Amino acid sequence: MHPLNQPLSGNAMPRFGGIASMMRLPVATTAQGLNAGFIGVPLDIGTSHRPGARFGPRQIRAESSLIRPYNMATGAAPFDTLQVADLGDVPINTYSLEKSLPIITDFYRQVLAAGCIPLTLGGDHTIALPILRAMAERHGPVALVHVDAHADVNPEMFGERIAHGTPFRRAVEEGLLDCHKVFQIGLRGSGYAADDFDWPRQQGFTLVPAHEVWYQSLAPLMTKVRQTIGNTPCYLSFDIDGIDPAYAGGTGTPEVGGLSVPQALEIVRGCRGLNLAGADLVEVSPPYDPSAAWGQPAVRDAVRTARRYRPLILHCFSTVLFRLTDHDLFSPVPAQGPQPAQDRCPDQRAMDHWRQTLCRDRPSHGCAPGQCGQPGPDRG
């Protein structure tokens, strides 16, 4: 028998059977003895548009039954060296946001006291604030890699200071963040005023709007992130709406023009080398399918939506797990000129193919099909 917890094999129990824990890992009632633990926070009463993120933890767990313990692209094998378990869900008060926040903070305080790194399944983005409160108690102000379509720094929403659009405003005010080591990636969409993004910049945040990285690899950006953050304890907060709704439309506040899946994977793989103290994947709302076919059964929509998240789930959390190991599995890609195709990572090759396809399909700017990879004028 393996001395460390192992996901239940699909050859021992069909993947549609067994306990629906994260990656079919054992369920634990305490964080003692764990290197990392998966925690669900089924809260969505802080959302401002489409609800449903309360079902995120359950659906993510259900879809994770198809994730096997070895990543064939990177060689990641976290369960060979780490003790990991599913710690279940935080028992939030579904009728009170005010009462839920201290419940969440206290839960995470106990997990962190045990020396366990929390990997969170959300839940709307409100949950980042109580988690960061526990993080700052343990580590002091933390660095932040925040992937999102929205900056979530509103002063208030409908007169309320606590909501899914305000957590990082409150985190700054409470001194929970090392503001000059905060990166917000994927921001986009319309705003209430022209200066909506000025406040976080004034605090020292580095903002990376989605349109500034269209058609680009994010490996050079992640090199800058690692150099800036250094060894400061860092929290990774990944809102699924950071990804374009063409790929991940099951979320409460979708915005067009977002990150591609290869770019999302570059971000989470690029966190390799950071001193990650925890991570979350939030705003997954299974009832909403990209087709937005309201008449379809919610179960079918949930399955369609969650399948799109499966690769990201594995990479997001395996990146955090491997921050504890000595294996250099996520070496940064050099920022210099083009590499031979066989030397480029699968994500880069996929991006190259995507660019060439755009160019081949719309060569309206005069280049030979597939030559330069630039979109035509009608592609923006």
Q: What is the DSSP string of 229-278?
A: HTTS-EEEEEEGGGB-TTT---SSS--SS-B-HHHHHHHHHHTTTS-EEE
pLDDT reading at 118 higher than 50:
yes
Which residue in this structure is represented by tokens 């917890």?
5
Q: How confident is the model at residue 234, as a pLDDT? A: 98
Mean pLDDT of all residues in 229-240: 98
Q: What are phi and psi of 185, to 5 degrees?
A: -120, 130
Mean pLDDT of all residues in 2-28: 94
Cα 284 from Cα 240, distance rounded (Å): 6
CA-based nearest residue to 241, from 53, 41, 40: 53
Q: Where are the domains of the chain?
A: 22-322, 344-379
Q: Return the percentage of the chain with pLDDT > 70, whole number.
A: 76
CA-based nearest residue to 38, from 286, 278, 237: 278
Residue 288 Cα distances to 120, 131, 254, 369, angstroms: 21, 26, 10, 37
Q: How confident is the model at residue 68, as a pLDDT? A: 92
Q: How confident is the model at residue 22, as a pLDDT? A: 97
Q: What are phi and psi of 144, to 5 degrees?
A: -145, 130
Residue 3's region, left for phi above 0, alpha for psi from -120 to 50, else beta, is alpha
Q: How confident is the model at residue 154, as a pLDDT? A: 94
pLDDT reading at 203 higher than 70:
yes
pLDDT reading at 366 higher than 80:
no
Residue 300 half-sphere exposure toward CB, CA atoms < 13 A: 7
Predicted confidence band at 321 (pLDDT cuts at 50, 70, 90)? low
CB 380 within 8 A of CB 244: no
Instruction: Among 73-77, 111-115, 159-163, 293-297, name the one with the lowest average pLDDT.
Output: 293-297
> E strands along the chain, which residues?
36-41, 84-89, 117-122, 142-147, 177-187, 206-209, 234-239, 276-282
CA-based nearest residue to 42, from 65, 61, 29, 63: 61
pLDDT reading at 220 higher than 60:
yes
Predicted confidence band at 338 (pLDDT cuts at 50, 70, 90)? very low
Predicted confidence band at 119 (pLDDT cuts at 50, 70, 90)? very high
More confident residue, 361 or 94: 94
Q: How confident is the model at residue 379, as a pLDDT? A: 31
Mean pLDDT of all residues in 288-300: 47
Q: How confident is the model at residue 317, as a pLDDT? A: 66
Cα 34 from Cα 84, distance rounded (Å): 6
Cα 50 from Cα 293, distance rounded (Å): 14
pLDDT reading at 8 higher than 60:
yes
Cα 302 from Cα 354, distance rounded (Å): 27
First CA to last CA distance, the chain: 56
CB 22 within 8 A of CB 309: no
User: Quick check: helix, strand or coil at residue 212?
Assistant: helix
pLDDT tens per residue, range 42-76: 999 999 999 999 999 999 999 899 899 998 988 88
3-state helix, strand, coil in the chain (%, to 5): 35, 15, 50
pLDDT reading at 331 higher than 50:
no
Q: How confident is the model at residue 320, as a pLDDT? A: 61
Largest CA distance in the chain: 63
Q: How confident is the model at residue 89, as a pLDDT? A: 98
More confident residue, 349 or 124: 124
Q: State the CATH class of domain 22-322.
A: alpha beta
Cα 85 from Cα 65, distance rounded (Å): 14
More confident residue, 377 or 130: 130
Cα 35 from Cα 114, distance rounded (Å): 9
pLDDT tens per residue, range 222-233: 999 999 999 999
Residue 52's region, left for phi above 0, alpha for psi from -120 to 50, else beta, is left
Q: How confident is the model at residue 308, as a pLDDT? A: 53
pLDDT reading at 84 higher than 90:
yes
